[in-house]
């Protein structure tokens, strides 16, 4: 009997979760990634949740100490480097690269194709066809759009619904553990560190190293700095040295030297000198503009959107990778239980409810930053700095909040 075939557009973690899980229910899954070279994540740190651990174990990937770094305390530093608050926590911090490598290594290389940029999708009653920029065509029974927040698949089916800029960017930096000055390492490395410049949010934490190492001495320290940024300022940040604007994102190598110099100077002026030193030692910090996207529909005939291609939630719930895994598991399980047509209907119903609520949670947690571009009298939270109790409640209840969102989504989809 011929296996049903799934065309997975996008070879990042969402696409690989879908491909591996669909293979697990007996489908032939083939991945097409637009980039011509193997993907790398520059060690970008991610939060993990029990749901992610469970899905990886289901795939045969043990979520053990090699997958992440346990962090047991939170420290708040003022601008002069003094610790003014400490809290207990329980988090496992991993990295995009560590999860990606685990998924990629278990997927057959002959079914993973690089340099395949999708042009458009065709479908009929019998199947779906992906047409690529090189003129090639691939035919399947299902096409999964897992090609990220700027999804080409989504753009074809929802052309008038672009993601909405949230009004701030996230600057990112990472430094190998061995490059951190010993005194700073001893004080900070095992902690989740917050700095709270007025109207901003700066956080730092340990992650696996650039080659996914979790052994002491080979790890890395990751920084994320959320900064309110007007659309006009974002245009400037996204303009290269030749004056060309790259829209709302720019490849890290194209960020102008003066932009890098300015952000490092502002780091030293606004946050604790310990973390400012770590940030300054990264030769190439980069930024990502923060967006929301709330999809009115995620299934279009034989086409299903997944992960950030379906919904773009702000990063504050720390659930982007977990959402991609949950979407992929629901897609595979629904098809296995009910067949393709009914399974896609179930996937649409349940994961759209989940995506809607996760986007709403991200907006709620990021509202303080979005409001910074408004006059103070119009802000929902007029405090000059993020209230610590609110921040710690969000920090320590992320997995519980995700579980609540999941439960609410299932109830909503069933009603």
DSSP of 129-144: EEEETTS-EEEESEEE
Q: What is the mean predicted confidence (pLDDT) over 22-46?
A: 87
Which pair of tokens denotes residue 57?
Answer: 């174990």
Residue 124's H or E segment, with its range, is strand 118-124
Q: What is the pLDDT of residue 62?
A: 86
- Output the CA angle 369-372-373, nearest 5 degrees: 120
Residue 377 has pLDDT above 90, yes or no: no
Strand, helix or coil at 377? helix
Sign, CA torsion 411/412/414/415? positive
- Segment 136-153 mean pLDDT: 97
Give the pLDDT confidence of 258-315 residue by residue, as tens digits.
999 999 999 999 999 999 999 999 999 999 999 999 999 999 999 999 999 999 999 9
Instruction: Reduce the DSSP state of residue 215 to 3 states and report it.
Output: coil
| Pair of tokens at residue 201 | 């949010």
The tally of CA atoms less than 13 A away on the side-chain side of residue 96 is 16
According to CATH, the superfamily of the domain at 5-61+98-163+293-414 is FAD/NAD(P)-binding domain (3.50.50.60)
What's the mean per-residue pLDDT of the chain?
A: 93
Percent of the chain with pLDDT over 90: 81
C-alpha 326, offset from chain centre: 14
Are 5-61+98-163+293-414 and 72-94+166-291 in the same CATH fold?
A: no
State mean pLDDT over 38-47.
72
Q: Mean of the pLDDT values across residues 113-123?
A: 97
Mean pLDDT of 12-29: 97
CB 151 within 8 A of CB 267: no
Direct distance between the N- and C-terminal alpha carbons of the chain, in angstroms, rounded to an integer: 38
pLDDT for res 42: 53
pLDDT at 106 over 90: yes
Query: Exposed e or buried b for every residue in 121-130, given b needs 16+ CB within 10 A?
Result: bebeeebbbb
CB 280 within 8 A of CB 264: yes
What DSSP character marks residue 189?
Answer: T
pLDDT the model gives residue 41: 61
User: Which are the contacts of 268, defined by CB distance < 8 A and separation ≥ 6?
Assistant: 276, 280
Residue 91 reports pLDDT greater than 90? no
Radius of gyration of the chain (CA): 21
- Per-residue confidence (pLDDT) for residue 384, from 0 to 100: 77
CATH number of 72-94+166-291: 3.30.9.60
Residue spans per domain, the chain: 5-61+98-163+293-414, 72-94+166-291
């Amino acid at each position: 009997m011929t296996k049903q075939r799934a065309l997975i557009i996008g070879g990042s973690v969402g696409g690989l979760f879908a491909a591996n899980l669909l293979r697990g229910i007996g489908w032939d899954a083939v991945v097409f990634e637009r980039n011509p070279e193997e993907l790398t994540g520059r060690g970008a740190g991610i939060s993990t949740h029990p749901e992610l651990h469970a899905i990886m174990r289901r795939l045969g990937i043990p979520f053990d100490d090699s997958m992440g770094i346990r962090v047991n305390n939170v420290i708040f530093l003022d601008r002069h480097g003094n610790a003014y608050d400490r809290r207990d926590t329980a988090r496992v911090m991993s990295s995009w690269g560590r999860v990606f490598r685990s998924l990629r290594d278990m997927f057959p290389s002959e079914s993973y194709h690089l340099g395949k940029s999708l042009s458009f999708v065709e479908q009929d009653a019998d199947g779906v066809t992906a047409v690529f920029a090189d003129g090639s065509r691939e035919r399947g029974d299902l096409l999964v759009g897992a090609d990220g927040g700027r999804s080409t698949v989504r753009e074809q089916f929802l052309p008038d619904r672009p993601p909405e800029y949230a009004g701030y960017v996230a600057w990112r930096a990472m430094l190998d553990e061995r490059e951190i000055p010993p005194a700073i390492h001893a004080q900070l490395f095992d902690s989740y560190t917050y700095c709270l410049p007025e109207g901003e949010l700066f956080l730092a934490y340990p992650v696996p190293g650039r080659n996914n190492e979790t052994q002491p001495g080979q790890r890395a320290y990751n920084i994320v700095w959320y900064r309110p940024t007007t659309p006009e300022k974002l245009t400037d940040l996204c303009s290269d040295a030749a004056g060309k604007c790259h829209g709302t994102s720019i490849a890290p190598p194209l960020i102008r030297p003066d932009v890098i110099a300015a952000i490092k100077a502002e780091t030293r002026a606004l946050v604790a000198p310990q973390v400012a030193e770590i940030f300054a030692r990264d030769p190439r910090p980069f930024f990502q503009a923060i967006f929301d996207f709330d999809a009115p529909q995620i299934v279009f005939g034989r086409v299903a959107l997944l992960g950030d291609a379906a919904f773009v939630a702000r990063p504050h719930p720390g659930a982007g990778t977990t959402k991609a895994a949950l979407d992929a598991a629901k897609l595979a399980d629904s098809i296995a239980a009910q067949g393709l047509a009914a399974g896609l209907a179930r996937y649409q119903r349940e994961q759209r409810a989940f995506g809607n609520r996760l986007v709403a949670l991200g907006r709620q947690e990021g509202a303080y930053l979005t409001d910074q571009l408004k006059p103070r009298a119009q802000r929902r939270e007029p405090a000059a700095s993020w209230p610590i109790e609110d921040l710690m409640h969000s920090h320590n209840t992320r997995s519980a909040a995700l579980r609540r969102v999941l439960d609410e989504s299932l109830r909503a989809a069933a009603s």
